[in-house]
Amino acid sequence: MSRQNQTLGEFIIENQSSFKYTSGELSRLINSIRLAAKVVNHEVNKAGLVDIIGAAGDTNIQGEDQQKLDVYANDKFIQTLTNRNIVCGIASEEEDDFITINSQDENHQNKYVVLIDPLDGSSNIDVNVSVGTIFSIYRRVTPVGTPVTIKDFLQKGSQQVAAGYVVYGTSTMLVYTTGDGVNGFTLNPAIGTFYLSHPDMQFPEDGKIYSVNEGNYIHFPKGIKDYIKYCQMEEGDRPYTSRYIGSLVSDFHRNMIKGGIYMYPKSSKNSDGKLRLLYECNPMAFLAEQANGKASDGFTRIMDIMPTELHQRVPFICGSKNMVEKAEEFMRNAQ
């Protein structure tokens, strides 16, 4: 089949054989995310017209004010994943603990766990800046037929079977990998169908964009400060351009297309950085590596980090391979 204008559904069916587990499972997993993405997209796109923006009047375990759309997106992804009867557990930025999904056949036969950041960058909603959903999928490690446990969630990123994001931007895109490259699908809202628009996405090995919140500069480790100054220096192809949207999915997506590096380092304010290992850094790291990019905490490959708790944070440096390696060099030299 010509890949031009291939729909997401056709792509999944055509590529099921490359998914090393039972063929139908990939379809049901990604299709449930596809459906939830369309439902959330519909609400995100009319934010401001209806009473769906603003604070939900509650805070999540991170101590962050939950936005109404955060809660809405969280509910929709959990509902859709539950209904497809393939997932045995879900962890979410918006949920204090993981959720056990009691499959219709109460024997817990479902084999997958999903970890999600249902609406990343939600502080941008009220100012009409793009936001995203991030998802990470593992096979459970405890015996099928028993209730899911925390062990099923605390797996290294290298064990992911699929990961991706939805970016609700000037267009809505679903970008994902199952370990066989990264492909991007753009939603045609008129008919509610995702079409393959960005086959085989690759990070350029070099780039000229750096993404970091420079308002935290004085709190950064010396190595990060030195690298930022390196980016700003008049030399060779530098200075680079600073672009920071405040939405990881959007900064990542732009940098993957154009070349660039995203950094959320630890600082004297955030001793482990801000981003969560399990449902932000690991899925983005899986995508980055599948797209010939790189992701580390400045010293260690993100996907090699052994998680110890559901909402743990790690410093995050991700993007074009040569840019990440240069930043790591500055981090090593500053030790």
Which residue, 27 or 211, has its beta carbon nearer to ligand P6P?
211
Q: How far is CA 1 from CA 44, 158, 200, in A?
A: 33, 31, 16
Q: Looking at residue 220, what DSSP letter applies?
A: S
- Mask: binding to ligand P6P, 199-238, rule CB under 6 A, as x and -? --------------x-------------------------
* Smallest gap from residue 298 Cβ to ligand P6P (A): 16
From 274, 311, 313, 321, residue interacting with ligand P6P (rule: CB under 6 A): 274
Part in contact with ligand P6P (CB under 6 A); list of ranges 11-19, 119-127, 164-172, 289-297: 119-127
The minimum distance between CB 66 and ligand P6P, in angstroms, equals 12
Please count the residues of this chain forming the interface with ligand P6P, following the rule CB under 6 A: 9
In the shown chain, the binding pattern of residues 278 to 297 toward ligand P6P, with x for contact by CB under 6 A and - for none, equals --------------------
CA dihedral (59, 63, 69, 71) in degrees, to 10, reads: -60
102 touches ligand P6P (CB under 6 A): no
- Minimum CB distance to ligand P6P, residue 91 (Å): 16
DSSP secondary structure of 245-304: -S-HHHHHHHHHHH--EEEE---SSSBTBSSBIIIIIHHHHHHHHHTTEEEESSSSBGGG
Q: Which is nearer to ligand P6P, 217 or 299 (CB)?
A: 217
Specify the DSSP class assigned to residue 50.
B
CB 142: neighbour CB atoms within 10 A? 16
Binding status of residue 121 toward ligand P6P by CB under 6 A? yes
**246 near ligand P6P, judged by CB under 6 A:** yes
Report, in Å, the least distance between residue 281 CB and ligand P6P: 10
Strand extents, DSSP E, the chain: 55-59, 65-67, 87-92, 99-100, 112-120, 131-139, 162-168, 172-177, 182-188, 193-198, 209-211, 241-242, 261-264, 293-296, 316-320
* Rounded CA separation 187/284 (Å): 21
Minimum CB separation of residue 131 from ligand P6P in Å reads 8
- Six-digit token string for 310: 């559901």
Looking at beta carbons only, is 29 or 212 nearer to ligand P6P? 212
Does position 169 interact with ligand P6P (CB under 6 A)? The reply is no
Q: Is 118 in the site for ligand P6P (CB under 6 A)?
A: no
- Would you tell me which residues interact with ligand P6P (CB under 6 A)? 120-121, 123, 213, 246-248, 274-275
